[in-house]
Amino acid sequence: MILCISRAGANISRSSREAYLLQKTKRRTSRSVLLNTACVAFISFTGAHAQETEQSVCPDGAQTCTVNGRVIYLPGYFSQFNPITALDMVQRVPGFSIDAGDQVRGFGGAAGNVLIDGQRPSTKSADIFEILGRIGAGNIEHIELIRGGTGGLDVGGQSVVVNVVQKQGAGSSTPSPWEFYILKRRPDGGVTPGGEISYIGRIGGLKYTLGANGFAARLRYGGDEQITRFFGDDELRQRRGQYKEKGVGGNLNLEYALANGDIAHLNIEGDWFDSLEETTETRFPAMDGPDIAFFPFDYEEYGFEVGGDYEHNITDSFSIKLIGLYEREFENFESRFEFTPAAGTPVQSLFISDRDIGETIGRVEFGFNGLDRHNIQFGGEIAKNFIESAVEFFVDDGSGVLTPQVINGANTRVSELRGEPFAKDSWTLSEKATLDIGMAVELSSISQSGDSENARFFVYPKPSLALAYSFTPQTQVRFNAERRVNQLDFDEFVSSVNFDDEDVDFGNPDLQPQRTWAFETSFEQRFGDIGVIKLSGFYNYVNDVEDLLPIGGGAEVPGNIGDGEVWGGEIALTAPLDFLGLKNARLETTGMMQESSVTDPVTGVDREFSFISPYSIDVDFRQDFPERKFSWGWGLYKSGKETNFGLDEITTFSFPKPELDAFIETTAIKGVKVRLAAGDILNVNVKRDRTVFDMTRASGVALFREMRGNQNGGNVRLTFSGTF
């Protein structure tokens, strides 16, 4: 399979990663997930939050100011950007990038770096981009940028966060956002629609949000692949394909404020997604060509989530918060391989998979701020997770009959019972210094039944520390240290088939979680209302690096290959460009460089980590003309090559061209924002270079080399958005 934009991409194949890498260029992440270093933070009390709101009014009519170490942005600051939703506002906070959080099991470790009214939404299926997009800009009182000491806010391990403070007591006329777009992909991708709408209302003490969304997409793609065989005839393969997807979703969010000040939330989410990908490969061998290979892939996913929380102030200084969440997801996909040679008998294979995935979470948090200069949080979380996989695999070797085959580890159930007690303290050392310290202990019992039987128990302590010192309100240094424990991916326990590389991806019931000691230090200097420069360096020592592990008999599985290191640095700059004569223009630039080292289990020689880019550069320009109600801008992203190391192969992905996007937008139509955006203007060619060796890579004897290019063709999107 050349391309799979659906969320199922990572579940299909671990050795073929074009789907992952093509999406990675769109996500514009500035560093690997391995390098997200964080500190510990805490939950706020409703009463304390109300006091903070009262202190957040900037003096003398200013639209931005610093109060108690927090940078406050009033709605007037964002007016030049003509925001429709809270998302439009948060994306314009200088020196800040939204982190949606990790897609991990449990609640405590999945936090992003955006809060709403000092709280995390009790949901995991909807990311913070979706949630902010449901809040109209007219509902925002102000936005707080909190750096270093988080002072009791519930951010689950982030050192820089944004807190979106909504207007309190708004009536039924609360602005509700909507968005509709049409998307055109070239070449021949057709025009496809999408959109979302939310309605926000209030009945007495009950605030509710109803939302719905839907989308459809269609694209064509293609590229050529040259196979050089060192002991045989070469071959040219022309790959052409099309991809179609559609989906719908809905949500209901309730917030109820009791007379005693207690607050309760209930969130219900549901969605359905379907995609079909069809790739045709025309192969031209030295003789008797062409051969035809056909790869259809049909995927469906649907699920729901119910989550809620209840917060109660026991005393003025002691509070309790209860959080519960239940989530189910069902995945069904069918992958087929059909091969018709120019001379010979056609053959085919069929792989069918059904998966049932579930999670139940209960969490209790206690908060205490009765000690001077301290905000203390303690509590615990318990989570029950499972994945149940049922697989059928058939092969027709030319007889015309599909015969069932056995794949060890494909039909299985994996379940985990995980608990985590924790304690955290946010300590204000002085007016300039804050210290966040914490300790959590992860206890996990994992069992597997079916084709593979196994049971294991893990205990891992997870200390953390974050120190921040502000020389002035504009100048700050931060140091973070933390031990992180990766949660095991249940997909790595389950075997599957990869038709693209004609291979079986075996699961490993003995996989251990990767652990990381992560250290980061950063310096931040702010100048004016917009300018920010941040320099940071990081070092990670990784125990039990997760990668492909040889197990004998010419097979490999996801496993632990030993300890390794990752280190590097990052520079981020947000600069106004008025001094160049570009009024109301800003340039945001982020550059990252990193290196890594781990001992290769096949060759015994040090090498880089699999799928980790040595550098990335992200540049965004925007200029606003408030009087004309017009804005324009562009973005540029470039990253280095990424390599995957298997038992008998090396696969490298590279991106010769940068990704270039551009947009223009206007609010000349009253109450409506119109935005025209062009994506992937340079038509990025994702190149894949795969070399397969005799027996193992250690032999040094290459059997053949595959060189493939793939292009999507770019897209144009016209979006209308507003409030009602």
Given a contact cutoff of 8 angstroms between Cβ atoms, the answer to whether 53 and 141 are in contact is: yes
Is 249 within a domain?
yes
Is 2 within a domain?
no
Q: Chain centroid to CA 127: how far?
A: 9
- Strongest mean pLDDT among 26-40, 213-227, 530-544: 530-544
pLDDT of residue 683: 86
Phi, psi of 8 (to 5 degrees): -80, -5
Phi, psi of 640 (to 5 degrees): -85, 180
In the predicted model, what is the mean pLDDT of residues 138-151?
Answer: 81
- Domain coverage including residue 420: 9-723
Is 143 within a domain?
yes
DSSP for 410-448, written as a single string: SSEEEEEEEEEEEEEEEEE-SSSEEEEEEEEEEEEEEEE
pLDDT of residue 155: 59
pLDDT of residue 724: 86
- Would you place residue 105 in the very low, low, confident or very high pLDDT band (cuts 50, 70, 90)? low
- For the cut 70, the answer to whether the pLDDT of residue 201 exceeds it is yes
Q: Is 199 exposed, middle or buried (0-12, 13-18, 19+ CB in 10 A)?
A: middle
280-321 pLDDT, tens per residue? Answer: 999 888 666 789 999 999 999 999 999 999 999 999 899 999
Given a contact cutoff of 8 angstroms between Cβ atoms, the answer to whether 452 and 468 are in contact is: no
Q: 656: alpha, beta or left, given left = phi > 0 and alpha = psi -120 to 50?
A: alpha
Q: What is the dihedral of CA 12, 13, 14, 19, to 10 degrees?
A: -80
- For the cut 50, the answer to whether the pLDDT of residue 224 exceeds it is yes
536-553 pLDDT, tens per residue? Answer: 999 999 999 999 888 887
Looking only at the bridges linking them, the beta strands covering 564-576 and 531-543 are: antiparallel
Tokens of 610: 């699999």
Least confident of 99-108, 314-323, 584-593: 99-108
Higher pLDDT: 286 or 177? It is 177
Give residues with Cβ within 8 angstroms of 519, minimum separation 6.
37, 479, 480, 481, 538, 539, 540
Number of domains in the chain: 1
Give dist(CA 591, CA 571) in Å, integer: 5
Amino acid letter for position 241: G
Domain with residue 302: its CATH number is 2.40.170.20
Decide: helix, strand or coil at residue 14: coil
In the predicted model, what is the mean pLDDT of residues 663-688?
Answer: 91
Give dist(CA 362, CA 323) in Å, integer: 6
Taking CA atoms, 172 is separated from 165, 199, 218, 263, 613, in Å, by 18, 10, 39, 19, 49
pLDDT > 70 in the chain, percent: 86
Is 309 within a domain?
yes
Least confident of 172-176, 397-401, 579-583: 172-176
pLDDT > 90 in the chain, percent: 48
pLDDT of residue 315: 92
Alpha-helical runs (H) found in 38-143: 46-54, 86-90, 128-133
- The count of other CB atoms within 10 Å of the CB of residue 286 is 11
Taking CA atoms, 477 is separated from 81, 154, 471, 536, 715, in Å, by 30, 22, 8, 10, 41
- For the cut 60, the answer to whether the pLDDT of residue 120 exceeds it is yes
Given a contact cutoff of 8 angstroms between Cβ atoms, the answer to whether 639 and 652 are in contact is: no
**Angle formed at CA 226 by CA 643 and CA 27, multiple of 5 degrees:** 40
Is 434 within a domain?
yes
pTM above 0.95, yes or no: no
Give dist(CA 16, CA 2) in Å, integer: 8
**C-alpha gyration radius of the chain:** 26
pLDDT of residue 153: 62
pLDDT, the chain, mean: 84
Is 639 within a domain?
yes
Given a contact cutoff of 8 angstroms between Cβ atoms, the answer to whether 132 and 181 are in contact is: no
448-505 pLDDT, tens per residue? Answer: 887 777 888 999 999 999 999 999 988 999 999 999 998 778 777 777 777 666 666 7
Is 609 within a domain?
yes
Higher pLDDT: 121 or 251? It is 251
Decide: helix, strand or coil at residue 510: coil
Give dist(CA 120, CA 126) in Å, integer: 12
Is 708 within a domain?
yes
In the predicted model, what is the mean pLDDT of residues 103-130?
Answer: 72
Give dist(CA 548, CA 567) in Å, integer: 22
